[in-house]
Amino acid sequence: MFGASHGSNLSFPELNLELSPVCELQVSRLAMLSLLAVFKDILPGYRIRLPTEKELEVPVSKEVKQTRDYESMQLRFYQVGAAI
């Protein structure tokens, strides 16, 4: 459709890129649904939680530490997404 140079110097002056408040709300809702779909795909099938202070004091293998770090990162991103 665009040929080899589809990204070079395209101009669409007829497009109005300002969104109405209703359109902004719809875009926000669609973004939230997309985010939920991503979380559903990447979250494990088991419940994840942050380790307690006592659990953090116990020496663990490298794999367990990586899993804890990954799950903590997932929880932080989920909390940020849920706060939106």
Position 17 scores a pLDDT of 54
Position 9 scores a pLDDT of 44
All residue ranges of the chain with pLDDT < 50 are 1-12
Residues 33-42: contacts with CB under 8 Å, at least 24 apart:
35/81, 35/84, 36/81, 39/77, 39/78, 39/81, 42/74
Position 32 scores a pLDDT of 82
pTM exceeds 0.85: no
Length of the chain in terms of residues written: 84
Position 78 scores a pLDDT of 78
Which of left, alpha, beta for 44 (phi over 0: left; psi -120 to 50: alpha)?
beta
